[in-house]
Amino acid sequence: MKVSLIRQLLINSTRLTLTLLPGFATVVSASGQDTYSYKPKSQALYDSIAHMDSVYFNAYNTCDLETQAAIYADTIEFYHDGSGLQTSRQALLDALKANICGKVSRVLVKGSLEVYPIPNFGAVEIGLHRFINHQEHDAVSKPDRFIAVWRHKDGKWQMTRVISLHMGG
């Protein structure tokens, strides 16, 4: 009886769609009829975060550690699926200087950026980006998912949480 019920649930689950967050992501059903389209709730907020993403990653790509330091909150939590959690802004900057500067650059995947407001705090940025390894010219650059939580305080945007997921290696 249990096996039969589990089998039926598995069969039925292929016909269902799963919504992770309203307006965020929909898993395509087995029939392939569902589609996904993102439209920001606030174009002004989207533009602000897209600008901050550009400012931050321009600093990242040019090894401007001063700008990166100003964008990271004192209470930064940086989660990386390879190296774990980093909560020290200085240790994070030291790692970037040692491992990224002049070696790796980041490219945002066009059309992948999504921004969601967090009332009385700031915003969540979700997107895909690729990293180009300038030391290994044959390395394949595949899109990876990232999530950044931005705090808006005293007219200034800062990243408080970052989740960096390197799905393909």
Query: Based on the structure, what is the number of domains in the chain?
Result: 2
pLDDT bin (cut points 50, 70, 90) of residue 125 is very high
Whether 78 and 104 share a structural domain: yes
Whether 27 and 64 share a structural domain: no
More confident of the two residues 9 and 155: 155
pLDDT of residue 23: 42
Whether 85 and 113 share a structural domain: yes
Whether 115 and 156 share a structural domain: yes
Whether 71 and 122 share a structural domain: yes
Whether 28 and 86 share a structural domain: no
Whether 105 and 142 share a structural domain: yes
Whether 33 and 81 share a structural domain: no
Whether 73 and 23 share a structural domain: no
Whether 20 and 59 share a structural domain: no
Structural domain range at position 59: 43-165
pTM, two decimals, is 0.77
Whether 81 and 141 share a structural domain: yes
Per residue, the 3-state secondary structure of the chain, as one string, reads CHHHHHHHHHHHHCCCCCECCCCCCECCCCCCCCCCCCCCCCHHHHHHHHHHHHHHHHHHHHCCHHHHHHHEEEEEEEEECCCEEECCHHHHHHHHHHHCCCCEEEEECCCCCEEEEECCCEEEEEEEEEEEECCCCCCCCCCEEEEEEEEEECCEEEEEEEEEECCCC
Does 13 score more than 90 pLDDT? no
pLDDT bin (cut points 50, 70, 90) of residue 152 is very high
Whether 23 and 79 share a structural domain: no
